[in-house]
Structure 1
Amino acid sequence: MTDPFAEVVTLLQPAMRFSKTVTAGGRWRVSRPATGEPFYCAVLEGASRLIVAGREPVTLHAGDFVLVPAAFEFSSTSIDPLPEGEISPVAVADGRSRVGDPDGPTDYRALIGHCAFGSPDAALLVSLLPEVLHVRGEPRLTALVGLVGDESRSGRPARDVVLERLLEVLFIDALRSAGATAPVGLVRGLADPRMAPVLRRIHESPAEAWSVARMASEAALSRSAFFERFTRVVGIAPMEYLLTWRMAMARQLLRQDGAGVAHVAERVGYGSASAFSVAFARHVGQPPARYARAEAAAG
């Protein structure tokens, strides 16, 4: 059966931008603007607080892993932080950053990094993921992040290929580790015993004639109960999710050489090229044929 986690991560095309080890001591506070780049942090020693704009602060302990698929404005602080508005200087040397008291003992160590998503559909796909993913008690993730950091600083042959594969594994492992504790989104939906079969069937056969009634039947729920539960758990209405996934697939197919509009329309569940063209233009902002030509010219 199709694995939605793997499909979303593969379509996102994650690539390493940079990673570094951060150490800190005493009271400290660092802030970052909303870059839009995916951000991750694996705490190796000590504890800190992560404050993402518009959300409650998260306390991180050694072994915790945090993934922010689209980095909002955020701050990271010591447990006893500096006053609001006061920012610590950051010293950088040999790929490592030091925050807080430069001469005092180290009481915090973490591996942090930024990624980039190569897919033009990144914003669309990221909307299916939680805004902040916090995983605790998963040493596999800490080990994987360590491998990513080591490889990113190496000059070994095939470094970029290895990093691409490691990042895919890292993202998938982070998503599946979160499970039912994740905020609304695809991750939580796949941890729900009634929603998971429906989501997997949609990803497996997006071209089928899906309706809310048919999805409800797959979940063994009434239509109203299914609609309410899907929207609450996944964060968007069932047919909106189906449309989002179909459009992501369509854009990928149109970027492939020789994929005509009629063929793509059939692959993503439209009975005619004209109906697909109208839906695509409404969702993406331009007709599929023009989109395909622009992507071919850019490539």
Structure 2
Amino acid sequence: MVDPLSEVVELLQPGARFSKVVAGAGAWRVRRAEAGLPFYAVVLAGGCRLAVDGQAPLELQAGDFVLVPAAQPFTNSSLEPPAADLPDTQPTQLPDGSYRVGDPQGPPDVRLLVGHCQFGSPDAALLVSLLPQLVHVRGEPRLAALVQLLIDETRAERPARQEVLARLLEVLLIEALRCAPSLAASPGLVRGLADIRLAAALRGLHAQPARAWTVESLAKEAALSRSAFFERFSRAVGVAPMAYLMAWRMALARKLLRDDNLGVAAVAERVGYSSASTFSVAFTRHVGQPPARYAKAA
């Protein structure tokens, strides 16, 4: 059975950028604005607050995992609300390689593993748009075990370290996304797959991307009326059904042109276009350059 979530994460090509352990005490506030860098955090002990621009603030506790696939500016702060005039905190690195925020002498109220990963795919922006903007998972021991493996591998200097980190991050992302409660996840593929009716349509679409799908045929896969399917899909996934189909076809087309050394006509057929010219027009509109030029530059 085709797993749309695994397909998207595999195409993203996640890799390790950096991670660090941070301890906080007293009142503190850290503001970050690294646009486009996927951000994740796990609370190892204690608690804190996370406010991602455009999302409701979260109160995090031990065992919580947070993932922001396309990082919005965010603020991480102590559970005790810092004063409005408190300057943003700059983490201080300690001799053991960890970091400290807030009161440097007080006992820590929270310990976090925070980090950024990177997506190697040139289609990352397109693929990330299919995922929730924010994922918050609570009480999942499997995630804690994966995070511990990630920490151990980050600190070690073993052979094939980068390859292992990439695979661990791939599994971590899939596990975090599939563990996310459907109601807690913002619109995207995760929420769509949590709906048994929409999941049938999404799996059909991913299994046969070249099929001449219409809203009616996708609605039939979901056993819903056309209007009910369109409204339910758009609300859950965040885009209309045919817009999602277009995004997925373009991601597949770019991979085929880049990695499989196929001609434009063959790629057009693989992703559901009746002619190379029709495909070229659609590809150019979405990617910004004709497929033949894209293939040469890849």
Q: Which residue of 1 aligns with 2:91?
A: 90
Q: Which residue of 1 aligns with 2:281?
A: 278
Give the unaligned 5+ runs of structure 2.
none
Q: Secondary structure at the match of 1:183?
A: coil
Q: d(CA) in 2 for partners of 1:294 and 1:158?
A: 29
Amino acid at match of 2:38: P
Q: d(CA) in 1 for partners of 2:81 and 2:89?
A: 10
Pick aligned residue for 2:148 from 117, 142, 146: 146
Q: What does 1:97-176 correspond to in 2, within 5 Å?
A: 97-176=99-178
Q: Taking structure 1 as reference, are residues 144 and 188 closer, same or farther at Cα in structure 2, changes over 3 Å only?
A: same
Q: Which residue of 1 aligns with 2:74?
A: 74
* CA deviation profile, 1:171-201 (whole Å, cap 9, x unmatched): 0000100141311110000000110010011
Q: Secondary structure at the match of 1:194?
A: helix
Q: d(CA) in 1 for partners of 2:223 and 2:114?
A: 43
Confirm or deny: 8 A CA contact 2:137 2:181 kept in the other structure: no
Q: d(CA) in 1 for partners of 2:235 and 2:260?
A: 39
Q: d(CA) in 1 for partners of 2:64 and 2:194?
A: 20
Q: Is 1:231 the counterpart of 2:234 in the alignment?
A: yes
* CA deviation profile, 1:107-133 (whole Å, cap 9, x unmatched): 210111100100000000000011110
Deviation at 1:257, TM superposition (A): 4.6
Deviation at 1:56, TM superposition (A): 1.6
Give the unaligned 5+ runs of structure 1.
none
Amino acid at match of 1:24: G
Q: d(CA) in 1 for partners of 2:14 and 2:155?
A: 17
Amino acid at match of 2:168: L
Deviation at 1:35, TM superposition (A): 2.8
Q: d(CA) in 1 for partners of 2:101 and 2:144?
A: 21
Amino acid at match of 2:295: A
Q: Which residue of 1 aligns with 2:210?
A: 207
Q: d(CA) in 1 for partners of 2:192 and 2:119?
A: 23
Deviation at 1:153, TM superposition (A): 1.8
Confirm or deny: 8 A CA contact 1:47 1:62 kept in the other structure: yes
Deviation at 1:147, TM superposition (A): 1.1
Confirm or deny: 8 A CA contact 1:179 1:190 kept in the other structure: no
CA RMSD of aligned residues (A): 1.0
Amino acid at match of 2:61: H
Q: d(CA) in 2 for partners of 1:32 and 1:249?
A: 33
Confirm or deny: 8 A CA contact 2:34 2:72 kept in the other structure: yes
TM-score, length-scaled by structure 2: 0.97
Q: d(CA) in 2 for partners of 1:57 and 1:29?
A: 14
Deviation at 1:212, TM superposition (A): 0.4
Q: d(CA) in 2 for partners of 1:71 and 1:112?
A: 13
Confirm or deny: 8 A CA contact 1:22 1:96 kept in the other structure: yes
Q: Secondary structure at the match of 2:259?
A: coil
Q: Which residue of 2 aligns with 1:178?
A: 180
Percent identity, please: 64
Q: Taking structure 1 as reference, are residues 257 and 224 closer, same or farther at Cα in structure 2, changes over 3 Å only?
A: closer
TM-score, length-scaled by structure 1: 0.96
Deviation at 1:81, TM superposition (A): 2.5
Q: Which residue of 1 aligns with 2:39?
A: 39
Q: d(CA) in 2 for partners of 1:38 and 1:89?
A: 20
Q: How many residues were matched structurally?
A: 295
Q: Secondary structure at the match of 2:267?
A: helix
